Structure 1
């Protein structure tokens, strides 16, 4: 069995990205499509409001919110937040027309939906992660832009963005366990940046933990010394005491690095991209702060697995799930 066949055993939910009140039309939309794929991005022209009772929001009161049919806002369901529950339908523009709107305060109050952003009055563009009609997570376009949209891979390759600065916006964090297909250059300039960002986050988890095991593949081992930022990351991780294992084609072996090198030329080495952190006691659900991705990873483990199924096309997933992290780690440990 290969890593590609192993990956076929995992499935995950299909999720899409919705942009609300897009004030920067084509460039932003093109970045999102180029980052998440044509089929994953939808745009809803509308506006974000602070709440139906806010006089500056243009709303007409609680009766204007989409309700459960009995006149009460549907905010108490246990199955998650739907797009209808988040919407208001009586925001009036300057010409007297109703404008589709989302009340960001509803998103903030719903404990099941992670959201990052600033003051509601400062939010011009809101990016929602959807699973069917359910809102899984929300981020402002600014938060998402700082992480993946307005940066390029050189930020990580050169080490300009340090490990301590790597954060996952809620929309990216909410993609865990969702299978993805991403394109590399020249088909896309940006989609692989998601893989790079998640990889750096997992490396930050290992660095923060200071123990446990980190397994990372590079396709070509020469990349470790060719990329200053990558070399620096793995020196810092290994120096903390993390049991560090590096995998790839032995075109040029890294020197003076406190890591175990695993070299090979079969497809698991040439076509895979994985970064897997296993805590000393093994992967398990994090309990102390389940809302913190960093704590979840440090305490319970986290892993990314992607396979190049055809030239410059990557299929994979990343996960905090203890069983999946264990299975991925065990396969790598036994077979590579």
Structure 2
């Protein structure tokens, strides 16, 4: 049993991101396509007479479910890399994601880590930080985050800065991983160390509100440098993920 049990709870619906009336250079379109390469998200572009320029539409089952400026997509994921999150160059306050990305929820992503891919994991990393940001802004509830190895909090200056900030807030923050390092009491988090598969392979960030629901990312390392995961804001699914983590780990 692992957090991968929740993968069967998402439908895996296919979505499309449509860039409308693109004025940005063609490499921007190529970067967006590469970000979702081999994923259940189709990327295309379209010219619409008299329509707004440089707009991204999220389309599902023929319906437009979200729109965002292309500039927001560029600044949040296309023009950044994962190092900006780990080094702290991209702060918690900068971690907001446009709705065309957050609304690709309950879609299973299969991603590869570096060096197999420089972009695959980026969206899951960005969603993780966005959930942390939303929890911080809400200032309430419980945040549960897995790091595989707790030493990542120490070794990644950006991650340490984020969890110093979260631990200093009114959130109840819990961290999970192999206890190869123990965060000092000053970080303000509750530590859960272990050596089971969820501690070694699990990647989750779950913000559970006091009244239930919230948002969650759940992923699992299926093999070396390869992950499967999704994110959701569906209340019953967030509740179940939060309960699983609370009572199992």
Q: What is the TM-score with the length of structure 2 in the denominator? A: 0.90
Show the counterpart of 2:103.
Answer: 174
1:156 touches 1:230 (CA, 8 Å); kept in 2?
Answer: yes
Residue 328 (1) aligns with residue 241 (2): yes
Render the CA deviation track for 1:232-266: whole Å, top value 9, x for unaligned: 11111111121111001122222232111111122
User: Would the aligned equivalents of 1:3 and 1:272 in 2 still touch at CA under 8 Å?
Assistant: yes
Number of matched pairs: 246
- Give me the whole-angstrom Cα distance separating, in 1, the residues matched to 2:6 and 2:72: 34
Distance (Å, rounded) in 2 between the aligned partners of 1:130 and 1:236: 36
Closer/same/farther in 2, CA of residues 20 and 210 from structure 1, 3 Å limit: closer
Q: Which residue of 2 aligns with 1:307?
A: 220
1:282 to 208, 212, 221: 212
| Pairing of 1:111-260 with structure 2 (within 5 A) | 120=52, 123=53, 125-256=54-185, 257-260=187-190
Tell me the CA shift for residue 22 of structure 1: 4.6
Contact 1:158 1:228 in 2 (8 A): yes
Q: Which runs of 5+ in 2 are unaligned?
A: none
1:266 aligns with 2:200: no
Q: Secondary structure at the match of 2:158?
A: helix
Q: Which has the larger radius of gyration?
A: 1
Judged with a 3 Å threshold, the aligned counterparts in structure 2 of structure 1 residues 41 and 22 are, in CA distance, closer, same or farther, namely farther
Distance in 1 of aligned mates of 2:183 and 2:134: 23
State the Cα distance separating 1:154 from its structure 2 match.
2.3
Q: Which has the higher contact order (CA 8 A, sep 6+)?
A: 2
* Structure 1 unaligned blocks of 5 or more: 51-102, 104-119, 284-300
Output aligned runs, 1:67-78, within 5 Å.
none
Query: Does the CA contact (< 8 Å) of 2:143 and 2:205 recur in 1?
Result: yes
Alignment of 1:33-48 (within 5 A): 33-38=33-38, 40-44=41-45, 46-48=46-48
- Provide closer, same or farther for how the CA distance between residues 182 and 129 of structure 1 changes in structure 2, counting only shifts above 3 A: farther
- Distance in 1 (CA, whole Å) between partners of 2:96 and 2:191 is 28
- Deviation digits for residues 153-187 of structure 1 (CA, Å, limit 9, x no counterpart): 22222222222222111210221222322222222
Counterpart-to-counterpart distance in 2, 1:243 and 1:332: 14
Paired position in structure 2 for 1:83 = none
SS in structure 1 opposite 2:221?
Answer: strand
Residue 48 of structure 1 deviates from its aligned partner by 4.2
Structure 1 residues 167 and 49, CA gap change in structure 2 (3 angstroms): farther
